[in-house]
Amino acid sequence: MQYAKRLATEIGKRVSTRRQRLGLTQEELAKKLKITGAQISYIERGERGPSLVTLHKLAKVLGTTVGRLVPDEV
């Protein structure tokens, strides 16, 4: 698996875990971010990595930091 795909997959797992811990659905999270539920789904499955802007918004809405969503190593 290429580096970008591994990175997107790990970010997606972390977003999904944090979202579920907060009791949010993908649609609720998407609404808070002003993006589509499909975009959240793609991110959580690692099919697409979030843009830097979306990553920053995700961290803010999920009550965490960008550093906690992005792994040091993949």
Task: Identify the architecture of domain 3-64 in CATH.
Answer: Orthogonal Bundle (1.10)
Task: Give the closest residue to 33 by CA, choosing from 6, 41, 4.
Answer: 41
User: Could you state, in order of their start, the residue ranges of all structural domains in the chain?
Assistant: 3-64
Q: What is the pLDDT of residues 1-52, one digit of tens each?
A: 799 999 999 999 999 999 999 999 999 999 999 999 999 999 999 999 999 9
Say what the pLDDT of residue 52 is. 97
- Res. 74 pLDDT band, cuts 50 70 90: confident
Question: Which residues touch 62 (CB under 8 Å, ≥6 apart)?
Answer: 15, 18, 19, 22, 29, 69
Question: Which residues touch 1 (CB under 8 Å, ≥6 apart)?
Answer: 9
Mean pLDDT over the full length of the chain: 96
pTM, two decimal places: 0.94
